[in-house]
Every structure is written in structure tokens, then in C-alpha cells.
A and B are shown apart, each in its own frame.
Chain A
Amino acid sequence: MHLVHFLVDVWHWLTSGDQWRGGDGIPHLLANHVRVSISSLLVATVIAVPLGAWLGHRGVGGVVAINVANVGRAIPVYAMLVLAVQIFGITSPTGFGWTGSFVAFVPLVLLGIPPMLTNSYVGVREAGEELVDAARGMGLSEGEILRRVEIPVAMPLIMAGIRTAMVGIVATATLASFTGVDTLATPIYIGLNTNDNIAVFGGAVLVAVLAVVADLALAVVQRSVVSPGLRKGGAHRARAVVPVAAAA
């Protein structure tokens, strides 16, 4: 029926020059989406992975480290975005331009921390007592044990946590277009308000492609940072702790 016509219209929308030019064109929206996602992922990683690994090494804070991901899941992400707007206002404070949008950056960091914290904690905790004993017997210091034994062994899980966080962050950044942040989902937001299904669908296609590409990119990173000896079975084990991403 009209479906073919509709898809042709969407194709025209996606390929028309108008969408690819100007301050609110697709390149700008994509760049801002990527910028806010990467900046918040990096900051969340720098906070969560060392903290989770250190807690795992010391064997303290397990209840918090493990449950933080479950608690995080119960909080509606859209509410976090809206709260951030109410608290910080839409304009980024000076010095935070690199975040792409401060008002999206703060909730995205908070949302990215739990899966990485949990996975780093569990990964290091379960690295294996024998391995740690052997390392200690070889005269490695505690810091060396953590850096050279436990973290490499925990890497499949840590990377799984980073991927989970990344999927959640990219998805929530999408939702941030509804609180006035420029992201690839801005055409969806505008389309919904103007009853323009073509823009809604076109924007949705762009967002879906971005999400899949981002996950694939991290899968490639994962392959390069996980020791070859750990690869087999690692992915399977990695799924068990935080089985799913917090899709927003």
C-alpha cells in the first residue's frame, strides 16, 4: 500500500541535501550525539573501573558494588534527564563545552557508572585466588597484582560492562533530544511535534544505525584489549553479571 511510497519519502528525506547542511543538519546532530556520548562514557569509565577494580581487590563494598546496577535500572532515565534540566538549566556552564551538553552529560555519567562498577568489581574479585597467590609469591606488590594480573584477567567482564554502559549512554543521549539537547534523535522530536512521520522514521533509522555501529566499534576494541587466552568463554561469562544494557 502506502508503505513503499513512505519508504521512498524517507529515503528522499535521508538523502536530501537540506538534512546534511547547516547548524541543525545531520552532521552537527551526529557530532553532538557522539561528543556527549563519548565524553560521558570516558568520565564514567575513569570513575567506575578503577573504583570497582580497587574494591574488588580489597574485597570491600561488595553489596554496594553489586546492587548499584540493579538500583540504577529502577530509576527512569528520562526522569534523570528532566531533573538535570531543572537543576542545571539547558546551557552548559563555562569550561564544560567539551561535554557537548552539560545537562545531558551529568545524567549520562551517573547512568554509565553502575554496570562498569559492578562488572569491574566482580571481574577482579573472581580473577582467581591461585593466580593472586602465585603473583604474591613471585614478589609482586599489591598494585602490581591489580594492574598486571587481576585487571587483565577481568578484562572480558570489564569490557562487557563498558559496552553495556555505552549502549545505555547512546540510547539515553537519544532521549535527551526531548529535553532540548541536539542529538541524532532531534528529527524524531521535531517530527513528533509537527506530525511529520517521515522525519520520525528517518531519524529513527539514523539513531538505530548509530547505536549498532557504536556497539560494533566497542566489540572491536574489546577484541584488541582482551588477552587471546581469555577470549574463549569470556564473552559467555561476561554476560552473566550484568546481563543486559539499560536501554533508555
Chain B
Amino acid sequence: MHPAVVLGSNANSWIWWAWIPDHQHEIYAYLREHMVLTALSVAYGFVISLPLAVLAARRRAVAAIVVPVVNSIYTIPSVALLGLLLPVTGTGREPAVIALTLYSLAILVRNVLEGLRGVSDDVLDAADGMGYTRWRRLLRVELPLALPAIVAGIRLATVSTIGLVTVTFIVDQGGLGRFIQDGYQRDFHTPLVVGIVLSVALAVVTDLLLVRAERAVTPWRKLSR
């Protein structure tokens, strides 16, 4: 069979099943890239956002700078952010991870800050009265109480990042987004459908796993449910 003939006869059907086993290696590789980009970006975003949010919760002046900056980062479309990075970094993993980290950072700072601000003053007073130092109060009281908001932020950041990874095909990355772009460029539906289905499935499965992790790290919340 001539490949072009096969392609031509199948171009209008949404899925051509034989394509999938033939492209197993690509599927694994792109899925892996998708997960690596997501994990790196959320991890970096988390590590940066935690001290930022703690500082912002303690000092109004820090919050007055951090919050608007973080909000405006989120307003900038990913295509523009990647376009701004590209001349500096070139294509590859670097601009993709930087851009995705900035977005996950934006989500996480808001959520961690919200969680820390939600800790009631009475609890803080009680901890102070018990002689907790600032560090100990932060680690033993504030962060545990903010944990549900923090985990909610991680969930949101992860699912959003999984969606956003597909756009990084612009800088020669993209994970499963490579299939979407490939399907578009060749006007061939199967990779497009495979890319969409796997990307949504990855987001849903990851979210479900994070819900379980959320329950595991906040066992006391079961009592109130």
C-alpha cells in the first residue's frame, strides 16, 4: 500500500485504529514529555510560590507587589509569553518550562496566600500564647491549616499546566500537543483525536490521584465531612 493512498482514504474518518499500534513509541514519548514538562513546572512553581506567599501573608508591602505581578503574568497569553522568551532562550525545554512555571506560580501564590490568610487570628493568638516561635508557628500551625488550600492550588495548577503544555509546540515541545499540531498540519484526524483524548485523560487521572493525595495529607478533614 502506498502511504498517501492510505492517508487519503482515511483522512475524513475521525479515528484510524491501525495508526495507534504503529505509533506506540511516539505516544509513549510524547506522553512522557507531557508529564515531565508538567511535573517540572508545577514543582518549580511550588518551590518559588511558597516563600513568596508566606512573605506576602506576613507583610502587606510584599503582597501589594507580588499579587498584582502574579495576576498580570496570568493575563499574558501563553503564545506571547513564549514569544517573549524565545529570542532569549531559543526553542526547547527551557522556554516551555519557564513559561509553564510562571503560570503555575501565579495559581499557587494566590491559593497558598488565600490559605494562609484563612487561618483565624484566634488560632494564631493561641499558638503565640503557647510560646511558639514564628517559624514553629508557621510550620506547625499555619501551613497545616492552609494545606487544603495549598493542595487545591496544586490540583488547579497541575490540570491547567497539562492543558497548557499542548501550546508549547510553538517552541518545539508540546508533549501530546505535538499530535494535535501534526494532525492539524497534515489535515489528518487520528493524531488530533489521540492527542486530545490522551491529554484530557491525563488531566482527569492526575486530578483524581491528587484528590486521593489531598485526603491522605489532610486526614482530619474527614471528621468534618
Q: Does B84 make an interface contact (CB < 8 A)? A: yes
User: Is B80 a contact partner of A185 (Cβ separation < 8 A)?
Assistant: yes
Do B84 and A175 touch (CB < 8 A)? no
Map CB proximity to A onto B79-121 as digits: 1 under 8 Å, 0 otherwise: 1111110111000000000000001001100110010000000
Count of chain B residues near A, Cβ 8 A: 48
The contact size tier of chain A is 35 or more
**A204-223 contact mask (Cβ, 8 Å, vs B): 1 or 0:** 11011001100100000000
Smallest Cβ-Cβ distance to B185: which chain A residue: A82
User: Interface-forming stretch among B22-30, B198-206, B215-223?
Assistant: B198-206
A79 at the interface (CB under 8 A from B): yes
Q: Does A246 contact B (CB under 8 A)?
A: yes
A204 to B195, CA, bound (A): 26
| Cα distance A73–B204 in the bound complex, in angstroms | 10
**Hey, what's the 0/1 contact readout for A168-191 against B, CB within 8 Å counting as 1?**
001110110111000001001001
Per-residue CB contact flags for chain B residues 149-189 toward chain A (1 = under 8 Å, else 0) read 00001001001101110110110000011001101100101
Residue of A nearest to B162 (CB): A74
In contact, B170 and A75 (Cβ under 8 angstroms): no
Query: Which of B39-47, B69-77, B129-137 contacts its partner?
Result: B69-77
Known: A240-B114, A244-B156, A247-B160. A79 touches B83 (CB 8 A): no
A244 interface neighbour in B78, B81, B82, B160, Cβ under 8 Å:
B160
**Shortest beta-carbon distance from B2 to chain A in Å:** 24
* A102 at the B interface (CB under 8 A): no
- Does A244 contact B77, Cβ atoms closer than 8 Å? no
Bound CA–CA A185/B83 (angstroms): 9
Write out the residue numbers on chain A whose beta carbons fall within 8 Å of the beta carbon of B162. 74
Interface: A245 (CB within 8 A): yes
CB pair A73–B159 under 8 Å, yes or no, is yes
Chain A contacts of B180 at CB under 8 A?
76, 78-79, 82
Does B200 lie within 8 Å of A75, measured CB to CB? Answer: yes
11 A-B pairs whose Cβ atoms sit less than 8 Å apart in the complex: A76-B163, A77-B167, A82-B183, A83-B192, A171-B78, A174-B80, A175-B78, A178-B170, A191-B83, A244-B74, A247-B78
Interface positions of B (Cβ within 8 A of A): 72, 74-84, 86-88, 103, 106-107, 110-111, 114, 153, 156, 159-160, 162-164, 166-167, 169-170, 176-177, 180-181, 183-184, 187, 189, 192, 195-196, 199-200, 203-204, 207
The chain A residues found within 8 Å of chain B, CB to CB, are: 3, 6, 70, 73-79, 82-83, 85-86, 167, 170-172, 174-175, 177-179, 185, 188, 191-192, 197-198, 200-201, 203-205, 207-208, 211-212, 215, 239-240, 243-248
